[in-house]
Amino acid sequence: MHGRVIEKKKYSVPFLHLIALRYVFEEKPSMKDFADFLSITPPSATSLIDTLIKLGLVVRKEDENDRRAVKIFITQKGEDYFKKGAHSMTERMRKALNKLTKEDQKDLATILQKLINNLN
C-alpha cells in the first residue's frame, strides 16, 4: 500500500439506526406507530425495518391481542448494537465538546437551554 498505514475503522452506527432501535426498545411499536414517530412514509419505515431485520437487530411479531397487527421488537443483538453505538456517539461528542473553550461550552449550554425552553 505504498508505505501508508491503514487505520482501523472506528465503530460507527448510523444515527437513524440508534433512534429507531431506542424507539423500538421503549415502545415495541406497530409499523404505523414507527413510521409516525420518524415522520416517514410506511414504505420507508418498512425499508428501514427490513434493513434492521437483515442485520438481526429487530424482529416482527404478531400482536398477542390483535393477530392482524404486527409489532416490532428489539433483539439482544439489537440492544448490544444500540448500547455500543450510543457509547461510541457519546465518546465522539465528548471529545468534540472538550475541544471547545470553557467559554464556548458555557455559551453552547446557554443556547441549548434556550432551545429547550422554546420547544416547551
CA distance 85 to 18: 7
Count: domains in the chain: 1
Beta-bridge mates of residue 60: 72
Provide the residue range defining the domain that includes 33.
15-119
Share of the chain above pLDDT 90, in %: 75
Give per-residue pLDDT as tens, 39-67: 999 999 999 999 999 999 999 998 788 88
pTM comes to 0.73
All three cell numbers of 89 = 456517539
In a domain, 9, yes or no: no
What CATH number did the domain enclosing 38 receive? 1.10.10.10
* Residues shown for the chain: 120
In a domain, 32, yes or no: yes
Given its phi and psi angles, is residue 7 left (phi above 0), alpha (psi -120 to 50 degrees) or beta? beta
| Residues 6+ away with beta carbon under 8 Å from 89 | 13, 15, 18
All three cell numbers of 7 = 487505520
Asked if residue 17 has pLDDT above 80, the reply is: yes
In a domain, 3, yes or no: no
Say what the pLDDT of residue 115 is. Answer: 93
